[in-house]
Chain A
Amino acid sequence: MSIGASINARELTKSYGGGAGAFHALGPIDLDIKPGEFVSLIGPSGCGKSTTMLLVAGLEPPSTGSIAIDGKALTQPITEVGIVFQDHLLLEFRTAMKNVLLQQEIRGLDRAESLERAEHLFARLGLVGAENRYPWQLSGGMRQRVSIARALVHNPSMLLMDEPFGALDAISRTQIRHDLEMLWLETRKTVLFITHSIDEAIGLSDRVFVMSRSPGRIVDEIRIDLPRPRPAHLGEYPDFAAYTKRIYSVFEKLGVYKFD
């Protein structure tokens, strides 16, 4: 079992452009995520959720503030990470398995060991039989499952997911949410999960951070104390209704929703 990384961000801000035309996109925010924790960021479009993820990955530098991964200051892109975007971003010229094994090729990992891990992930993600298919031969849900396998095959300590199920239909989303939870329970990587969906955030997370828009700030933090693995139909927990209500009320206060 791998050990998840800790993420600590202090006074993080991000602005694009300079001078009078500068756009203040994010922050300041503080973020403390414990090793092996599953944390969601939820908020309206343009609240800086995706930016936060890129900053944590070291793929974009923050304008001010600092990030530490496992206590070490972040200065360049971290490689001990798997990233999943809303679009599968699979290479169309590689089969599902070869897309996953790209990680092994680039990182120079042991081939047999990676193949074994990949096969295990394919089994856990319901991808058996899809190994030699090209992305265009797979359904949207299958493609996203392959991109999750690609993000995990090198056994990273951290998984960053930017609306990974955003483009999927509701039925696929529920299944893939469960499969991801089961994988997480098995490996306990630190997960930063970015979503628009209140159900997804509550269904998966240990903690949910609610964000406001322009500039993006964390306005609420909710600890989700529901047993795991969580069922498809979360409504059977009375607490679920309370969590949902709380997130909606934050959104209403922020003006995200205007219901008269």
Chain B
Amino acid sequence: MSVTRAMSAPIRVAARIAEPALWFAGLLLLWQVLVRALDVPLFVLPAPSDFLLRIVTDHQRLLHEGLITAQLVVYGFIAGAIPGVVFGYLIANVRIFEQLLYPLFVFIQGMPKITLAPLMLVWFGYTTFPKILLTALITFFPVLVDSVAGFKSIDHRLYYLSRSTGASWWQTFWKIQLPSAAPSIFSGFKITVVVAVTVVIVVEWLNSNNGLGYIVLRAMDAHDTALIFATLIVASAIGVLLSYAVALVERIAIPWRRH
């Protein structure tokens, strides 16, 4: 403890990253040794060297298709998150919305929405629209729930104070409600954006001629497990990067937060 405190900030950060990285490297090494020692066939389980090499050799294709998937994730996420916050505000503040919409939303929330994917394809065909729509739908609900919680957590006496200052609706929203609810809203964003990656890949399995889901599908047909693993790593990287991007936006938007 005292040693950590004595270290400078960059070294502390490096130390914090180094420990899990070492564990991870050790795990990969063990995997490598076991696969080679037990002579596991490549199509059953590739060694880390096999799929890490595939990332290098197939990097152009993985990057190209990865960007297509990432783009859909971003579009779908934004299309779901913005209405999620808007309806979260309405449900938390307007009684009629709470009474009419919230029970309906809670009901839909309990539904496995990914099962709507085939239906969406029948309705909207093999375009990007059903992928974005489904991603938006699955993003919408958790963001909504966290937004409702954020807006509802505001002490009602703060509204007494804002009314006694003669604040307009907009001033109350912009200066009190939105920043008060922001931490809760952002925690919803950070969890949901990772889920959105999964959704896009699953929909790409069902219908696509591009994207990471499509690569996985083709690799499955060819029993190319090394490529499947390589694609999964790229997909995870997209999830992690988007999650960090949201965290970065959070730091810029609400710098007052105790990080």
Q: Could you tell me if A89 and B179 are in contact, using CB atoms closer than 8 angstroms? A: no
**B216-259 to A contact mask, C-beta < 8 Å, 1/0:** 00000000000000000000000000000000000000101110
A residues near B161, Cβ cutoff 8 Å: 83, 89
- Do B175 and A105 touch (CB < 8 A)? yes
Out of B164, B167, B175, B179, name the residue touching A59 (CB < 8 Å). B164
For residue A135, which residue of chain B has the nearest CB?
Answer: B256
List residues 103-155 of chain A with CB under 8 A from any CB of chain B: 103, 105-107, 134, 136, 154
**With A81-B164, A83-B160, A83-B161: A89-B176 Cβ-Cβ less than 8 Å:** no
The verdict on A79 contacting chain B, using a C-beta distance below 8 Å, is yes
Binds B, one of A35-43, A91-99, A205-213, A230-238: A91-99
CA distance A94 to B80 in the complex (A): 29
Q: What separation, in Å, do the CA atoms of A257 and B57 have in the docked complex?
A: 85
Count contacts on B: residues with CB < 8 A to the other chain: 21
Within 8 A of A (CB), among B164-198: 164-167, 171, 175-176, 179-180, 182
A89 with B258: CB separation less than 8 A: no
A3 at the interface (CB under 8 A from B): no
A54 at the interface (CB under 8 A from B): yes
Q: Is the CB of B166 within 8 A of A106?
A: yes
B256 partner, pick from A77, A83, A94, beta carbons under 8 A: A94
A177 to chain B, nearest CB (A): 22
Given contacts A81-B164, A92-B256, contact A106 B175 (CB under 8 A): yes
Residues of B within 8 A of A73 (CB): none
Find out whether the CB atom of B160 lies under 8 angstroms from the CB atom of A107.
no
Please report whether the interface of chain A is mostly helix, strand, loop or mixed according to DSSP. Answer: loop
CB of B155 closer than 8 Å to a CB of A: yes
* A69 to B: closest C-beta gap in Å: 12
- In the complex, whether A176 has a CB less than 8 A from a CB of chain B is no
| A106 contact set on B, CB distance < 8 A | 162, 165-167, 171, 175
CB distance from B187 to the nearest CB of A (A): 15
Q: CA–CA, A105 to B175, complex, Å?
A: 9
What is the total number of residues of chain A having a CB less than 8 Å from a CB of chain B? 23
When C-beta atoms are compared, the residue in chain B nearest to A86 turns out to be B157
Determine whether the beta carbon of A85 is less than 8 Å from that of B157: yes
Q: Is the CB of A54 within 8 A of B160?
A: yes
- Tell me whether B160 and A134 are in contact (CB under 8 A): no
Residue of B157, B162, B166, B179 near A93 (CB, 8 A) is: B179
At the interface, yes or no: A78 with Cβ under 8 Å from chain B? yes
CA distance A154 to B166 in the complex (A): 12
Asked if B15 is at the interface of the complex by the 8 Å CB criterion, the answer is no
Contact of B164 among A78, A93, A94 (CB under 8 A): A78
CB–CB B165/A103 < 8 A: yes
Q: Is the CB of A57 within 8 A of B160?
A: yes
Q: Give min CB distance, B14 to chain A, whole Å.
A: 29
Task: Please provide the chain B residues from 81 to 115 with a CB less than 8 Å away from any CB of chain A in the complex.
Answer: none
Assess whether B164 is in contact with A77, with CB atoms less than 8 Å apart: yes
Q: Which residue of B157, B171, B182, B256 is within 8 Å of A89 (Cβ)?
A: B157
- List B contacts of A154 (CB < 8 A): 165
Interface string of B50-93 (1 = CB under 8 A from A): 00000000000000000000000000000000000000000000
A89 and B164: CB pair below 8 A? Answer: no
Q: Which chain B residues numbered 134 to 166 have a C-beta less than 8 Å away from chain A?
A: 155, 157-158, 160-166
* A134 neighbours in B (Cβ, 8 Å): 256
- Closest Cβ–Cβ distance, residue A216 to chain B (whole Å): 19
A219 CB–B CB distance under 8 Å = no
A225 to chain B, nearest CB (A): 32
> Which chain B residues border A136 with CB–CB below 8 Å?
258
Interface centre among B164, B180, B182, B254 (most CB of A within 10 A): B164
- Whether A91 and B176, one on each chain, are in contact in the complex, defined by CB atoms closer than 8 angstroms, is yes
Shortest CB–CB separation between residue A103 and chain B, in angstroms?
6
**Extra A-B contacts (20), CB below 8 Å, given A59-B160, A77-B164, A94-B256:** A57-B160, A57-B164, A77-B163, A79-B164, A79-B165, A79-B166, A83-B161, A85-B157, A87-B157, A89-B158, A91-B158, A91-B176, A93-B257, A102-B165, A105-B175, A106-B162, A106-B171, A107-B165, A107-B166, A134-B256
Q: Closest 10 A-B residue pairs measured CB to CB?
A: A93-B256, A79-B166, A77-B163, A106-B165, A106-B167, A93-B179, A59-B160, A106-B171, A85-B157, A77-B164
5 CB-based A-B contacts, threshold 8 Å: A59-B160, A83-B164, A93-B256, A106-B175, A154-B165
Residues of B with Cβ closer than 8 Å to A? 155, 157-158, 160-167, 171, 175-176, 179-180, 182, 254, 256-258
